[in-house]
Amino acid sequence: MSDFLPSTAPVDGPAPGAAGSPALLNREQAILEFNRRVLAQARRDDVPLLERLRYVTIVSSNLDEFFEVRFADTLEAARAAPGDASRTDLAAVASRAHALIDEQYAVFNDEVMPALARHGIEVINHEDRNDAQRQWVAGFFEREVRPLLIPVGLDPAHPFPQVANKSLNFIVRLGGRDAFGRESQIAIVKVPRVLPRVIRLPDHVCRAGQQGFVLLSSVIRAHLQELFPGREVESFSQFRVTRDSDLEVDEDDVTNLRQALRTGLTTRHFGLAIRLEVVSSCPEQLWRFLLEQFGLPEAALYRVNGPVNLVRLNQLIDQADDLAGDAALRFAPHEPAWPEGRLPRHRSFFETLREQDVLLHHPFESFEPVVEFLRQAVHDPDVLAIRQTVYRTGEKSVLMDLLIEAARRGKEVMVVVELKARFDEEANINWAERLEAVGAQVVYGIVGLKTHAKLLLVTRRETNPRGVTHLRRYVHLSTGNYNPKTARLYTDIGYLTSDPGIAADADGVFQQIASLTRVKPPRHLLTAPFVLHRRLVKHVAQVTEAARAGRAARIVVKCNALTEPAMIHALIEAGRAGAQVDLVVRGACMLPPGIAGQTDHIRVRSVIGRFLEHSRILYFRWGDADDEEALYLSSADWMGRNMFRRIELAWPVRDPKLRQRVIDECLVPYLYDGRDAWLLQPDGRYVPAQGGASAQQALMKRFAPPLPGGEAAQ
């Protein structure tokens, strides 16, 4: 039995099988609540200032995707079933989105930017620029900007132009007559994406100690009149439209999914309009004109007090210096540790993995061992075959380069490339084409199912002590993507093993994806959409029965989202039976905890810290015996799409030491985090936890290299 700290919840609870079931929380509102928690990071005095600004930009990026995908789906559902309930839900979500965006700009304008200004980092508006700065900006506009701008005056021969998703534009109302003597009043200025949105002013035009920046929108605004000689600019506004960006491809009606997706990428930027952003000073006549052009209701209008795209303030963060005087403006550098004691650099990984499994806890431990595992496989002449799934790996990837090299060396390389990884489609298509060009076998998963599992399988020819040659397989499984960049920013678990049972199951997964035929059901891996949902619900039921029988009954789940109704109701039933249930859910959670007589044995917390919590860990106990406990790591969140519309994996951690390590590092610290954790209330609100350390900071300290004096670095 694993050593698990006891729950702090009361032991008394409702009678088993209590009547009724609480209403689930709204998913879209839960997503907005998550972004409110992210925004709260921008208000923390203990977070460095540039990192506080980064959290503001993260909220903008998250909200862009929310409107492009989630809200677009909600809007479509309301249109398909236009009843009172759907309209009410839509209005409630839109109202909360407006409130969150207003709060975001208030934090940006009233807290973060004034604090940065006090440290000499300033975004300088036109009216606040000195003569030298205005002269420099004028030169920059003339050299770098104006040659790329072509205003479009609107008339019957010049209809409203195509405006790309999330692009920066200006709408201008003009006085006077045009060059042909007509009173065309409206013009649109589309701003090319190739132009930087944030420009750092040279030091010689700034005061001592000042880092001055100007926004491209401010540069254009200051010189807008110059684009319309002979006309008077009477009013204007920046604007940006957000469009439905989900790629719609009928997979049953295409012969080449890759080509269909590449074609779809060319039109993604011009999907159905969902949201219109203008600056708060935009005249009513102009925003009403824009709403009409995009076919949007007034509720879709967002009048913001600042730039219409805060995401681009990332460019300021990238250009700013690390220090302002003695103040550190960024998080201290974190260098992930190499697990030297468990995976010696000087020794072959294959030798080590024949003796023991190795667990890697990213980003506290380095992702480089995963890269090195593949590198050794590529360069080892005894390795015959490499198979890997790819979901998100980035435009530049050392792992993909290694797979290409393996194919060039004549190894059998099979790569399952998920072409429909949202917003990574183009990068994945490009990698697929490069792999095919060197002879690798590339498949795109199963029609209608995204391949979200993270799996790498290496087959090696070996000779045993008796001189008999055989094939042995080595496996890497992960809760996160094969992306070295995000592996430094996301918490994930990687697992290296040569366990024959897991390796055989992994081989079966690849066989099924490639051949589309039935294979022997896996004995150790839980796979979606086949058995994962059913097995997890069964485990919850085992815990429920144990609670009713008065035996030890415990569930701890760490995941990114909990929205699948059947699993939620199974958890509620376990709590009603008296099982202690702790859920660490970073994002959307639809289970309302703490309802008297219903869910008062269930606690839900969300941890928002320096790193993005991404690992999925599932712990079940349904008695006191060692075989009445299970712990899984998984690629899947507890959502309907992960359970029924994706290829997903969960795998058991059977080694007692590794299982205890997962509990000690990945579960217990988060259950007692009182610094970065938020507690979900029955009504869907979150309140900050109080009185405890930060789990992430404790783990950074645990894995930090020792200082010369023998103590761990802080």
Residue 218, domain CATH: 3.30.1840.10
- 428 and 418 Cβ atoms separated by less than 8 Å: yes
Beta strand pairing call for 580-585 and 602-607? parallel
Q: Please give the pLDDT value at position 14.
A: 39
Half-sphere exposure of residue 163: CA atoms within 13 angstroms, side-chain side = 30
Closest CA to 98 of 313, 357, 247, 277: 277
Q: H helices of 474-563, where?
A: 500-515, 532-548
Domain boundary among 492, 519, 546: 519
Please indicate, yes or no, whether residues 443 and 515 belong to a single structural domain of this protein: yes
Please indicate, yes or no, whether residues 317 and 353 belong to a single structural domain of this protein: no
CA distance 474 to 498: 4
Closest CA to 575 of 6, 1, 2, 9: 9
CA distance 109 to 117: 11
- 481 and 388 Cβ atoms separated by less than 8 Å: no
Other Cβ atoms within 10 Å of 372 Cβ, number: 15
Q: Which pTM was predicted?
A: 0.91
Per the structure block, which two tokens stand in for 264? 């779809």
Please indicate, yes or no, whether residues 514 and 533 belong to a single structural domain of this protein: no
For 647-675, letters b (16+ CB in 10 Å) and e give: bbbbbbbeeeebbeebbebbbbbbbbbeb
Please indicate, yes or no, whether residues 455 and 486 belong to a single structural domain of this protein: yes
Residue 126 is among the residues annotated as catalytic for this protein = no
Q: In CATH, what number is assigned to the domain containing residue 616?
A: 3.30.870.10
Please indicate, yes or no, whether residues 467 and 356 belong to a single structural domain of this protein: yes
Note whether residue 44 is domain-resident. Answer: yes
Please indicate, yes or no, whether residues 385 and 484 belong to a single structural domain of this protein: yes
Note whether residue 20 is domain-resident. Answer: no
List C-alpha distances in Å: 399 to 319, 368, 378, 440, 456. Answer: 29, 10, 10, 14, 11
Please indicate, yes or no, whether residues 139 and 287 belong to a single structural domain of this protein: yes
Domain boundary among 463, 497, 519: 519
197 annotated as ligand-binding: no
Write the Ramachandran bin of 310: left for phi over 0, alpha for psi from -120 to 50, otherwise beta.
Answer: alpha
62 annotated as ligand-binding: yes
CA distance 418 to 443: 8
pLDDT along the chain (714 residues), means of 10: 50 42 93 97 96 98 92 71 66 92 98 96 96 98 96 85 94 86 86 96 95 97 95 96 74 55 61 94 97 92 96 96 81 94 94 97 98 98 97 89 97 90 74 93 85 96 91 97 94 98 96 88 94 97 98 98 98 98 98 96 98 98 94 97 96 96 97 97 96 94 73 44
Closest CA to 330 of 341, 344, 320, 315: 320
490 annotated as ligand-binding: yes
Chain centre distance of CA 388? 22
Per the structure block, which two tokens stand in for 416? 């399952």
- Taking only Cα atoms into account, the Rg of the chain, rounded to an integer number of angstroms, comes to 28
List C-alpha distances in Å: 705 to 359, 550, 604, 664. Answer: 18, 45, 33, 20
Note whether residue 12 is domain-resident. Answer: no
DSSP state of 527: E
Q: Is 692 helix (H, G, I), strand (E, B) or coil?
A: coil
Q: Return the ∠ at Cα 40 (arms to 38 and 46), rounded to 5°.
A: 110
Q: Please give the pLDDT value at position 10.
A: 35
Which long-range contacts does 153-159 make (Cβ < 8 Å, 24+ apart)?
153/178, 153/184, 153/186, 153/187, 154/184, 154/186, 154/187, 154/188, 155/182, 155/184
CA distance 159 to 161: 6
Angle between helices 84-107 and 49-65 (to 10 degrees): 160
Please indicate, yes or no, whether residues 486 and 553 belong to a single structural domain of this protein: no
Q: Please give the pLDDT value at position 400.
A: 95
Domain boundary among 519, 536, 554: 519
Closest CA to 74 of 113, 9, 29: 29
Note whether residue 337 is domain-resident. Answer: no
Q: Please give the pLDDT value at position 386.
A: 98
Per the structure block, which two tokens stand in for 253? 């009606």
Angle between helices 72-80 and 84-107 (to 10 degrees): 160
- 240 and 309 Cβ atoms separated by less than 8 Å: yes
Please indicate, yes or no, whether residues 576 and 655 belong to a single structural domain of this protein: yes
Other Cβ atoms within 10 Å of 561 Cβ, number: 21
Which among 452, 476, 533, 539 is annotated as catalytic?
452
182 annotated as ligand-binding: no
Domain count, the chain: 3
Please indicate, yes or no, whether residues 278 and 380 belong to a single structural domain of this protein: no
CA distance 356 to 373: 15
Q: Please give the pLDDT value at position 444.
A: 84
Residue where the block lists tokens 């959290």: 55
For 412-447, letters b (16+ CB in 10 Å) and e give: ebbbbbbbbbeebbebbbebbebbeeeebebbbbbe
Note whether residue 5 is domain-resident. Answer: no
Write the Ramachandran bin of 429: left for phi over 0, alpha for psi from -120 to 50, otherwise beta.
Answer: alpha
- 539 and 565 Cβ atoms separated by less than 8 Å: no
Note whether residue 342 is domain-resident. Answer: no
Note whether residue 712 is domain-resident. Answer: no
460 annotated as ligand-binding: no
The range of the structural domain enclosing residue 546 comes to: 528-703
Peptide bond into 363 cis (omega under 30): yes
Q: Is 117 helix (H, G, I), strand (E, B) or coil?
A: helix
Q: Is 241 helix (H, G, I), strand (E, B) or coil?
A: strand
Please indicate, yes or no, whether residues 305 and 446 belong to a single structural domain of this protein: no
Please indicate, yes or no, whether residues 145 and 55 belong to a single structural domain of this protein: yes
Other Cβ atoms within 10 Å of 448 Cβ, number: 10
